[in-house]
Amino acid sequence: MIFGLIKMKNEINKIGKDVIDLQIKALRRLKNSINDSFEEAVKALKKCKSKVIICGVGKSGIIASKISATLSSVGTPSFSILASDCSHGDLGRITSQDILILISNSGNTEELKNIIKYAKMNKILLIGIVSNKNSNLYRSANIKLLIPDVQEAGYGIVPTSSTTAQLSLGDALSIALMKKNNFGKLDFKKFHPAGNLGNKLKTASDIMLTNNKIPFVNENKIMKHALRILNIKKLGFLVVINNQGLNSGIFTDGDLKRLMQKKKSINSLKIKLFMTKNPYVVEENTLASDILNQMNKRKITNVCVYNKKNKRKTIGVIHIHNLLNILK
């Protein structure tokens, strides 16, 4: 009985691996099929002044929804519609300024006919993602993205390898377009302000302590005064500034310990004599994750934040605990 259970488990695992192998082969074929049409599609999408509408039938309709969501998240306004709904009023959502992407494995699905006809009548740029060269969709598309003939899992009839290829091609278009548009991490952050991803994309300006929470001390102050501020602010460091309010350096708990080992009396000494000059500082749009990496690398626990106008003008401070709380 135990042998039978082990055999059954191995058979099930083999089925799973075989399905994945088929999809890996499909993606290899898709990769090798990328040609000038792909570049043409990306350039056309970049020029689009309105929306990118993506439409499919059945499983391809689900893929259309995911590709549309990805495009929108990387800066290209998009929505998906079901082909079956287009003949019942949804064609009115598509304008001549839009780009229409139709996804179909066969390219001859009945529901596509009215959509293709509407696109032609209204001179809407049509991009076809299709596996059949001899199909209505392939012949009608202004830009043809051909999915290679692939073997499906499940007796060769269940949409698996073909939908994986469709999805991968959609992701490739989205990322290529994102890079052509110079859509960076800070742009991505605007569309993903919440959740774990939003936390990873937070910048210095999102988490820094500002105004009276910044432990400023004038460089000409004596240590007795500086230590009082260090104790009140409880951040473990001071931002030392000159008479113009510009950053001269920092003074940390570590600096204090080293100073006390050398000097018996420090109260009357000026802080500027013992501060650390040219400390590591970050611009306000620096990603929190990058700041944490640098702090760990430099073995420091605090940084000053500046804006682009003046690197020596501190507008905020960050303690390592602020970073750990959002990046945990």
Domain boundaries, the chain: 2-183, 204-327
Quick: pLDDT tens for 260-293. 888 878 888 899 999 999 999 999 999 998 999 9
In the block, tokens 């931002």 appear at: 239
Top CATH class, 204-327: alpha beta
Q: State residue 197's pLDDT score.
A: 74
For residue 7, what pLDDT band results from cuts at 50, 70 and 90?
Answer: low
How far apart CA 34 and CA 171 sit, in angstroms, is 13
Quick: pLDDT tens for 101-126. 999 999 998 889 999 999 999 999 99
Provide the pairing of β-strand 276-277 with 247-252.
Answer: antiparallel
User: 2-183 architecture in CATH?
Assistant: 3-Layer(aba) Sandwich (3.40)
pTM of the model: 0.75
Alpha carbon of 223 to those of 173, 191, 258: distances in Å? 60, 47, 14
Q: In what order do the strands lie in the sheet with 78-82?
A: 78-82, 52-56, 99-104, 125-130, 143-146
Share of the chain above pLDDT 70, in %: 97
